[in-house]
Amino acid sequence: MEEHLRILVIDDSMTVSRYLKHLLSRMGHEVILAGDGNTGLQRWQTERFDLILLDLMLPDLSGLDVLQRIRATDQETCVVMVTGHGDVATAIEAVRQGADNYVEKSQITLGSGLDEFLHVIYRAMEIREAQVSRLRLEQEIRQKNQELEATVRELQRTQQALVEERNKLQQILFSLSELVLVVDREGRVILINPLAAEDLGVAQDAAIDRPLRDLGAHPDVVQAVQWVLSTGEVARLEVPSLRQTNGAETGQLFSALLNPVYTHNGEPLGVAVVLRDVTRERELEQMKADFYSMITHDLRSPATAITGFVELLAEEAVGPLNDAQKEIVAILRRSIDKQLRLINDFLDYSAIDAGFLKLEKQETDVRNVVEEALREIQPLADQKRHTVSAKLPDGPFLAYVDGERLNQVVVNLLTNAVKYTPDGGHIEVRLTGDDGTVRIEVSDIGIGISEQQLPLLFSKYKRLPGETGRKIQGTGLGLLIVKEIVTAHGGEITVESTPGQGSTFRVVLPRYGS
C-alpha cells in the first residue's frame, strides 16, 4: 500500500487499537480510532475512509450489525473484520455479508504475523476495488441497458407509427376507384393498389420491384413513364386498359395521368400513374352529342321546310297572290326567319356550351366567305336603307379555316351592324391580312356601345340595356357564338366603339393555324 490511506479502526480493545494506529501511522496512513460500534458508525457517516478495521465483538453492537449498517448504503469502503481467537465461523459469515476479509487479533499482535496481516489488508482492498469496479460496471451496464430499452421502445413506437401510416396509405389506395401505381427511377413498381394489380393480372406483392414493361403494361403507359422520368413533366393520355391489349377492343377507356414524384428534399423518386375509368363519361358525352344532333335536326328541318314553302308562296310559284295574301306571306316570312335565327343561335350555343364545337378546317377563300355573308345580309340592309361597302383583296385570299363557321361570324357581325345602326346608315366590311393572319373588320355608324358595356359584350345572355337596344330583336347569344368560333380558330375578337358614332368589330385569325 504505497498511497496514503484513511483507516478507521473500530475496536474496544485499547491494546489492539493503539498498536494498529502505531503500526499503520508509521507506514504513512492516517488512523482514526472508535471504541464502540455507534461511534464508529458516526465517523463513517460523516467522513470518508479507504478502509475500516472492524472488531467482531464490540461493547454496544455486534461487528456484524455494524457491517450490515455500512453495507446497506456503502459498497465502496473496504471492511476487514478483526476477530478474536476461534471466531472464524462468524468471520466467514461476515465476509458472506459484505466484509472483504478478516484477520485474527493474534496475527496483528504477534510480530511474526504482521506480514500476513498486511497481506490480508491488501487483498481485502484489492477485492473491494474489484468489487467496486464490478459494481460500477454493473451500474453502467444497467444504465446503458435502460437507455437501450428506451431507444428500443422509441423505435418500436416509431415503427408502429410508420406501420400505421403505411396501413392508412394502403387503405386509401385500396379504397380508391382509380388504378394507382408508383414506379421508381428505374421504372420498377414500388407501390400498386389492388385495382391496378388486378388490371395487370398480377398479385399486388408479385408486382413490387418488377419493371412495368415486364408486367405487360400498355406500351403507351410505359413510354409515357419514360418520358415523365426524362423530362420531369406531367403526361396525360388515354388507353383502353393499363395492360397491353394487343389491339383487341375492350370497350373501356381510361384517362391516365402521370406525375413526377419527388422526395421531400426535391430528389426525383419516380412517377405516380393514376388511371381513371372514363368509359361511362364518354358514353354519356356521346349520348349527349347524339341527342344534340337529333334535336338540331328535328328543330331545324321543319323551320327550313316552312321557309322553303313560304318562299314558294312569296314568289307566287303556286299561283298569284292578292295584296292581303302578300301581306300575310311577308309576315310569315319575317316570323319564320326570326324563329330560324333563334333556333340556330340556341343550338349553336348549346353545342358550344357542351363542348361540341368542332371546326372543319380546310383551305378556304375568305374573300368568298365575306362576299357570301354580304349577299346574305343585303335584304336586311336594304330594308333599313343602309349602304354597304366592302374593301376586299383583288383576288382570292386563302386561309386554313372552317368556311361555314367563319361565314357565321361575318354574317353575325354584319347583322348586328345593320340592326344597331339607325335607318339610312353606312356599313363597311374590310378583309386584309398577311402571310400569317386574316383580319376582318366590320364598321358601322350606329348607336355604339358604352365603355361600361363593352366588357359584357361577349358574356352569356347579356343583351345590353338601353332603349334603342331593347327595341331590336335578338337572343344575346350571337357575339358569344362569334367569340367561341374565333377562339376555336386560335384567333381574337376586339371592339372599338363610341356611343352615338358607331362601332368597329375586329377579328384576327391565324391564317394557317393547326
Interface with ligand ADP by CB under 6 A: which residues?
A: 416-417, 420, 444, 446-449, 457, 463-464, 469, 474-480, 503
Number of residue whose CB is nearest ligand ADP: 474
Q: For 377-401, b where at least 16 C-beta lie within 10 A, e where not — what string?
A: beebbeeeebebeeebeeeebebbb
Q: How far is the CB of 504 from ligand ADP (least distance, A)?
A: 9
d(CA 221, CA 235): 10
Chain centroid to Cα 305, Å, comes to 58
Q: Which residue number, 199 or 345, has a Cβ lying nearer to ligand ADP?
A: 345
Question: What interhelical angle do 366-383 and 403-419 show, nearest 10?
Answer: 30
Q: Which residue number, 397 or 420, has a Cβ lying nearer to ligand ADP?
A: 420
Q: How far is the CB of 406 from ligand ADP (least distance, A)?
A: 16
Q: How far is the CB of 305 from ligand ADP (least distance, A)?
A: 24
Q: Which residue number, 35 or 474, has a Cβ lying nearer to ligand ADP?
A: 474
d(CA 299, CA 421): 31
Phi-psi region of 513 (alpha: psi -120 to 50; beta: other; left: phi over 0): beta
| Cα-trace Rg, the chain | 54
Q: Which residue number, 193 or 503, has a Cβ lying nearer to ligand ADP?
A: 503
Q: Which residue number, 190 or 464, has a Cβ lying nearer to ligand ADP?
A: 464
Q: What cell was used for 168?
A: 392508412
Q: How far is the CB of 344 from ligand ADP (least distance, A)?
A: 11
Q: Which is it for strands 398-401 and 387-391: parallel, antiparallel or unpaired?
A: unpaired
Q: How far is the CB of 447 from ligand ADP (least distance, A)?
A: 5
Return the SS3 of 440. Answer: strand
Q: How far is the CB of 301 from ligand ADP (least distance, A)?
A: 23
Q: Supply φ then ψ for residue 488, to 5 degrees.
A: -60, -25
Dihedral, 93, 95, 101, 102 alpha carbons, nearest 10 = -20
AA identity, residue 102: Y
Q: How far is the CB of 455 from ligand ADP (least distance, A)?
A: 12
Q: Which residue number, 434 or 467, has a Cβ lying nearer to ligand ADP?
A: 467
Q: How far is the CB of 470 from ligand ADP (least distance, A)?
A: 9
| β partners of residue 219 | none
d(CA 324, CA 345): 32
Q: Which residue number, 256 or 507, has a Cβ lying nearer to ligand ADP?
A: 507
d(CA 84, CA 103): 9
Q: Which residue number, 37 or 448, has a Cβ lying nearer to ligand ADP?
A: 448
